[in-house]
Amino acid sequence: MNRVGKQRDINYFLQANNVGLFGLLETKIKNKAFNKAAGSFNNWCITTNNGYHSGGRIWVLWNPTIFRVQIMEYNAQYIHLKVDSLVERRVFWLTMTYAFNGNSERTPLWDNLNRLASQIAGPWAVAGDFNCVLSPTERVGGNTPSSEIEPFRRCVADCGLVDIAAIGAIYTWNNKQKPDERIYRRIDRFMVNKAWCDNFTDLYAHFMPEGLYDHTPCVVKSSNQGQSKRSFKYFNMWGGSKKFLPLVRGHWDAGVTGTPMFRLVKNLKRMKPVLKKLNLEGFSDIEGATNILQKRVEEMKEEITRDPNNMQLISEEYEATLKLQELAKAKESFLSQKAKHLSVD
């Protein structure tokens, strides 16, 4: 999260998935760097548990026009919230969680979740990275002793929590090592209590391909939500393309007659498919190559979740991911140089 490129990618992800409330884990943003990083999320409200852990572990961000959030409790391993959905008029509790790696270190988390469960009467979700699987079947490669699994299983049972209906990736984390050293784990979850199941029957979780991130991002969606028409937006990056001005000159005011306002509206409508095509092709060769490779990596990751022992597929995905990381660094360098050039002009 300290990198501008990563902040930009997160903002794009939020816009593309129409997210209004979300948690970021393992941000590694310390207090002195908070203001600079938070500035990339304009108009969002932000709270963190940095006061309980110096490493920068959990951020919770929300759009105040969609959600009203009350912070109930902070802890080194979670932030507990009461959330009021202003649009849908739903109230629920959310515990955004990032468990410690050590088995004994997680014990206070299980105890606190049990305490919270005894205090909550309404819909409750516990979401995040628990750094532990619930059963041996949720791992491929490596080993997780039962002494680590059992405390987590007891906590989930005592709290009356179940996994929300979900689609997408089965394994939410892998060590990204070479094929013969690859390990997969399902350690990220979105769990809910009975009151949630009774009241929010239309909600489900989509565990998406992780892309350049360490874990699969999870987006909770409504099965009743229709496909709304997206408004057309202009992106400043288009102006940096050498094709931009020739395209505008070639398509603007071509055979349009009428009042000035009529010509303006017709020309703007005419430019929409042209600019969409420019955006699809990419703002640069780097962008275009990244888009193509990103799509292929996501396809391979989904195939791997269905066939985690396919060593040839894992090898191809590993090489493609390394190439994608190289392209991401080149893209960030390109954008940085473009920004410096524009600031000089």
Q: Cα 53 from chain centroid?
A: 22
Residues 316 and 253 grouped into a single domain: no
Same-domain status, 306 and 212: no
Same structural domain, 87 and 21:
yes
Given this model, what pLDDT does residue 329 score? Answer: 67
How many domains does the chain divide into? 3
The reply to whether 308 and 277 lie within a common domain is no
Q: What is the predicted pLDDT for the residue at 339?
A: 45
User: Is residue 232 included in any domain, yes or no?
Assistant: no
Do the domain assignments include residue 235?
no
Give the pLDDT of residue 105: 95
Q: Are 115 and 146 in contact (CB under 8 A)?
A: no
What are the residues whose beta carbons fall under 8 Å from the beta carbon of 181, sequence distance 6 or more? 141, 175
- Phi and psi at 6, nearest 5°, equal -70, -40
58-62 sheet: strands from edge to edge: 21-25, 58-62, 45-48
My answer on whether 214 and 259 are in the same domain is no
Question: Is 258 within the bounds of a domain?
Answer: yes
**159 DSSP assignment:** H
Buried residues in 288-327 as b, exposed as e (16+ CB within 10 A): ebbeebbeebeebbeebbeebeeeebbebbbebbeebeeb
List the chain pLDDT tens, one digit each, 345 residues.
Answer: 667 767 777 878 888 888 999 998 988 887 787 888 788 788 899 999 988 887 778 999 999 999 999 999 999 999 999 999 988 888 999 999 999 999 999 999 999 999 999 999 999 999 999 999 999 888 888 777 888 899 999 999 999 999 999 888 888 998 878 878 888 899 999 999 999 999 998 899 998 877 666 788 899 988 775 444 455 656 655 666 677 788 888 878 777 777 777 778 778 887 888 877 776 555 545 555 666 677 777 777 777 777 777 777 778 877 777 777 776 666 665 555 444 444 433
The domain that holds 64 is classified in CATH as 3.60.10.10
Q: What pLDDT sits at residue 131?
A: 94
| Predicted local confidence at residue 227, as pLDDT | 46
Q: Do 178 and 301 lie in a common domain?
A: no
CA distance 301 to 185: 14
The pLDDT, as a whole number, for residue 280 is 59
Which residues form the domain of 81?
4-222
> How is residue 18 annotated by DSSP?
T
For residues 255 and 295, membership in a common domain is answered with no
pLDDT value, residue 211 = 65
Based on the domain organization, do 156 and 303 belong to the same domain? no
CA 185, CA 30: separation in Å to the nearest integer?
Answer: 28
Query: Does one domain contain both 60 and 74?
Result: yes
Output the pLDDT for position 59: 92
Same domain, 294 and 196: no
Q: Are residues 121 and 181 in the same domain?
A: yes
Is 86 among the domain residues?
A: yes
Residue 148 in any domain: the answer is yes
Same domain assignment for residues 294 and 277: no
pLDDT at site 259: 79
DSSP for 110-125, written as a single string: HHHHHHHHHH--S-EE
Q: What is this structure's pTM?
A: 0.69
